[in-house]
Amino acid sequence: VPLLDAAGVTAFVESVWPGAFEAYEVVDVGDRTARVKLRYHDRMLRPGGTVSGPSLMALADTAMWAAVLGAVGPVAMTVTTHLDIDFLRFVGSHDVVADARLLKLGRRLAVGDVLMTADGASEPCARASLTYSIPPDAAPGAS
């Protein structure tokens, strides 16, 4: 059971960073997992008519942040230290759903990966892996 569920993550982020989740919907937060939807907007397009790379990168970061918040509770200042992303398929002008899972939640680092799929597609449009640095006193868990 996560320390924060989808509503808890959304409320916490809104309290510390109003508007930060304007483009996102936290669909679900589970046991070291989170599902976050990017709501399509024209400003996310790049030439060729597809959601831009930075928009997908920001989505991956947001989904992993939701999973971390669910697991460690309301800690504002986790910091992304590393992101690796493969762009697999064009998205077009669609919402994109990201599924994040934490693979390690240590005292100092959290590592996880994210799979992103455009609304209605059967194959993923991108994958990412991320590392978060967790400030001292924030993590409940073991290494």
Q: What residues line the site for a copy of itself (CB under 8 A)?
A: 16-17, 20, 46-48, 53-55, 57-58, 61, 76-77, 79-89, 103-104, 108-109, 111, 113, 115, 123-124, 127, 129, 131, 133, 143
Q: Where are the alpha helices (DSSP H) in 1-143?
A: 6-16, 53-72
Nearer to a copy of itself, 35 or 117 (CB): 117
Minimum distance of a copy of itself from residue 110's CB (angstroms) = 10
Would you say 7 or 90 has its CB closer to a copy of itself? 90
Q: Whose Cβ is closer to a copy of itself: residue 11's or residue 76's?
A: 76
Q: Which is nearer to a copy of itself, 7 or 76 (CB)?
A: 76
CB 96 within 8 A of CB 56: yes
In angstroms, what is the minimal distance from the CB of 128 to a copy of itself? 9
Q: Which is nearer to a copy of itself, 61 or 68 (CB)?
A: 61
**Alpha-carbon distances of 61 from 81, 87, 112, 129, rounded to whole Å:** 11, 15, 10, 9
Contact (CB, 8 A) for 43 and 55: no
**Least distance (Å) from a copy of itself to the CB of residue 47?**
5
Alpha-carbon distance of 4 to 141, in angstroms, equals 15
CB of 84 to a copy of itself, least distance (A): 4
Residue-wise burial string across 3-31, b where 16 or more C-beta atoms lie within 10 A, e elsewhere: ebebebbbebbeeeeeeebebbebebbee
